[in-house]
Structure 1
Amino acid sequence: MTRLNAPSVPADPTSKERLAARGLDYRTVDTADRDAFLNAMQAVTRGFLGPEITGAAVAEESEPTDGRRYLGIFDAGLAQPQVPVATIDSWVTPLSVPGGDLDMWAISGVTVAGTHRGRGIARAMLEGELRAAAGAGLAIAGLTVTETTLYGRYGFGAAVPMSTWTIDTRRAGWAGPEVDGRVEFVSREQLATDLGDVHERVRTRRGGEIAAWPRRWRQAAGLSTSVKDGDHVRGVRYVDADGEVRGALAYRVIENEREFTQSRLNIGVLVTENPDAAAALWGYAVQHALVAEVTASLRPIDDPVRWLVRDERGAVQTIRDHGWLRILDLPRALESRSYATAADVTLEVTDPLGLTSGTWRVRIAPDGGAEVTRLPAAVAVGAAGASGAAGAGDAGTSGAGDAGASGAPGAIAADIRLGIAELSAAYLGGTPLTGLLASGRIAGEPAAVAALDAALRPAQPPTLSIWY
């Protein structure tokens, strides 16, 4: 399948006009111009509190990633007018969903210089990205975030929670099985290859994963100039009895300066293709000599390590948000995934950008397929007056408790009333609709909420093992 070429999509004209009124120029960055692209990357690294790009890093950082669309906001009145005061980049990638995958507009590199905060720049860029993606025909957008309070106002929802594990190796012990095959050290170059190969083979097994790119794995292996002390990264892989690589592990050991035997092993990336690979590589880490603690982030919330250690009280799990999604085309997004059970519900959806606002009937067949139709405004309670631009922090939820209360003659009452941020959060089954109902984030009939929640939940929770 040929995917949309993101660089061909122009900057959103509405946002461009709004920023021009503030004396700012919003435009795409010409990646063929190495100086222009490097200036944009300098702005990105500055925004994420990194050092100035110099020396050996220049060549690496000035190589644009194929298929990405880079935009900057420029202020001609500054001492460095060639360096953007804000940045954002995007590309089209397959997002794994239950039953297949769906092209997603991935958003990254969102920065605003401290000198230009409070001018509506972030809002203009993010709303511009969503309008551009919807106009280009994408059904969903996604990102990973550093500040969780910013994105709900644009209709994003926290859809893929992930775990961090902290394991006291002495208390936890090991109870995993003996497996055939072997664990072996590999060079960091080979590690980058193995991580990418295994990840690509397994990423469609659960919802939430996206296709990674070579530099992401080179960073994981400590081969990128952007990685501090990359030479401290070590790598092992699991090879099964047939000689096939079924898992790979990138890690660092951080020595305890006061007690050498109390070192900490930090797992950077662990990808596994089957239970034997998981047992072999987790066992290697937990039983590592001179290591008192193992830490690992971006692990699935049902990671098997809980059941591989002898005492699970020695393994502490912390769950937090990671992958955020934003539905742009509601029928296409809901019809592009499979479902666990049948359901027939009516949703009244509010959207701060108006892209998905309306009342929709969602019919899910016993075979897992869905059909979504918009109900006419004349018979959809609250459709004509559904919330427009919601306030910051309230997007997608304002009026949820009142939606559908107009009592229009002949109106059809929606079973569930919710914002697009909440529907996006629940889309992959990683955020329970029943929990959103209990917290007052959505409103509706409990039986209908429970039915749709059960249909959305896959056999395994979604996962997203990388940042983007």
Structure 2
Amino acid sequence: MPASTELTARGLPPPAWEVQTLPATQWQTFYAAVLNAFHENEPAEATALWSSLTEPQRCSVVRDEGAIVGTAGIFSFRMTVPGNRLVETAGVSMVSVQPTHRRRGVLSALMRHQLESLHRQGEPLAILTASEAPIYGRFGYGIGARQLILDVQSRRVALAAPATGDVALTLEDPHKALAACEDLYARQVTGRPGMLTRATGWEHLPLLDPQSRHDGSYPLECVVARVDGEVAGYARYTVTVDWSRQNTAQGTVRLRDIEADNPRVYAALWRFLLETDLTSRVIAPNRPVDDPFLHLVSDVRHCTPTVLDSLYVRVIDAPVALAARSYAAQIDIVLEIEDAQAPWNQGRWRLTGDRTGAICTRTHDAPDLSLDASALGSAYLGGTTLTELAAAGRICAHRPDTLTTAATAFTSPVAPWLPHSFCRSLLPRL
């Protein structure tokens, strides 16, 4: 519902909230408001890390009689888009409204302010992960990437894997192995849309392992794979062992993250996880939807694959963002974009491009496709096809042949995926 027609619980128009930049000295108060809105406590080590990562000048607040009642923050990233290109991207996080101020226009004020600020600053893309799925579509965000959750009954499956005899595995301290693991992660970033470069400090986030979240599990472990002495893969995980069933161990491996340079190493790491002593289950809460594991495992029915929404994408500057990526096939179409929240995107744009690059300019020509900002965000990384969106009524194809051509051009050879969390919550709930 547009802000101008929103009503409060009392049936009155919401007040015109003023959005302010957060003074750096008030970060603790800001963060306390975020934790309160999400009904969470947090260990001191996590708060200290988020304090070091936060960019106060990119945090916004809404106050009521001096108290912070709404928050929003931005992290500065570069994200891979189709064509293996890195694009400046705003990572939206720490968005909250206090329970006393729900449905009074606070969120709308914050999101409008954020869109306008990003446009002025010249960032073409914004991304977020949503605590509640229905919220952000009305601000032009679309589901740009999904995540695969695997719950593998490891004693009931095997791997049809390539030979892994030259892969050496060692257990190492996660902190001591961090630099080598980060080098490997950095090598993977440009290979898949949705992946983010990690600026200094962010490498510590996957290692957060507070005792309060162990739930009886052994602390974070790291297995490192080497080929000819060089690090070629790693997996970080925790193990929980359950002896309650007649003194028979029924342990669970909870995979934090896994990266590998080649299929042999990836298979070797998965075999290690599946064959961990005293365990019968491996949970992987965040894998790409085209994870090769699905083609390595003997029986996918014992893996309970579940797909959920993950990364939401907002195109801030349509011509810049569309020209920043490449296209899987030659494309020359006119897009008519509806974008009331970002009126600078509104109108018709001619997009011309191929695998080498693209240009996007304003035009008065008749449109081939009409779509809104949310549909554009969903299609941008290539994980949701234009034909899917058209079938759902989210895109109007004025010429059906153009839809097919454009859908092919917008696709990505690998599914977009976000392994690098920037959500304030410590970890996915496993």
Q: Choose 87-96 or 66-75, whichever is displaced more.
A: 66-75
Q: 1:239 aligns with which of 220, 226, 236?
A: 226
Deviations 1:189-247 (A, max 9, x none): 1244344322212111111111234554433223568966696221111111x211122
Deviations 1:260-293 (A, max 9, x none): 4221111111122221221111111112122211
Q: 2:172 aligns with which of 182, 186, 198?
A: 186
CA pair 146-194 structure 1, distance change in 2 beyond 3 A = farther
TM-score normalised per structure 2: 0.87
Deviation, 1:61, is 5.2
Q: 2:377 aligns with which of 407, 424, 438?
A: 424
Distance 1:64 1:323 in 2: 20
Report the counterpart of residue 155 of structure 1 in structure 2.
Answer: 140
Q: Which residue identity lines up with residue 343 of structure 1 in the other structure? A: I
3-state SS in 1 of match to 2:33: helix
Q: 1:436 aligns with which of 366, 372, 389?
A: 389
Q: Does 1:218 align with 2:204?
A: yes
Q: Choose 57-66 or 444-453, whichever is displaced more.
A: 57-66
Distance 2:236 2:395 in 1: 41
Q: 1:276 aligns with which of 260, 264, 284?
A: 264
Report the counterpart of residue 81 of structure 2 in structure 1.
Answer: 97
Q: Percent identity?
A: 29
Report the counterpart of residue 9 of structure 2 in structure 1.
Answer: none
How is 1:254-403 mapped onto 2 (pairs within 5 angstroms)?
Answer: 254-259=240-245, 260-353=248-341, 354-365=343-354, 367-376=355-364
Q: 1:175 aligns with which of 144, 157, 160?
A: 160
Report the counterpart of residue 207 of structure 1 in structure 2.
Answer: 193
CA pair 308-420 structure 1, distance change in 2 beyond 3 A = same
3-state SS in 2 of match to 1:160: strand
Report the counterpart of residue 128 of structure 2 in structure 1.
Answer: 143
Q: Is the 8 A contact 2:15 2:105 kept in 1?
A: no
The structure with higher relative contact order (CA 8 Å, sep 6+) is 2
Structure 1 portions without partners, runs of 5+: 1-20, 381-411
Report the counterpart of residue 384 of structure 1 in structure 2.
Answer: none
How is 1:68-79 mapped onto 2 (pairs within 5 angstroms)?
Answer: 69-76=58-65
Q: Is the 8 A contact 1:251 1:265 kept in 2?
A: yes
Q: Which residue identity lines up with residue 348 of structure 2 in the other structure? A: T
CA pair 226-208 structure 1, distance change in 2 beyond 3 A = farther
Q: Is the 8 A contact 2:238 2:254 kept in 1?
A: yes
Deviations 1:290-310 (A, max 9, x none): 221111022111111112222
TM-score normalised per structure 1: 0.80
Distance 2:157 2:336 in 1: 48
CA pair 71-421 structure 1, distance change in 2 beyond 3 A = same
CA pair 68-93 structure 1, distance change in 2 beyond 3 A = farther
Deviations 1:387-434 (A, max 9, x none): xxxxxxxxxxxxxxxxxxxxxxxxx3x211111110111011101111
Q: Is the 8 A contact 1:188 1:223 kept in 2?
A: no
Q: Which residue identity lines up with residue 358 of structure 1 in the other structure? A: G
Q: Which residue identity lines up with residue 462 of structure 1 in the other structure? A: P
| Count of matched residue pairs | 402
Distance 2:297 2:206 in 1: 26
Q: Is the 8 A contact 2:162 2:263 kept in 1?
A: no
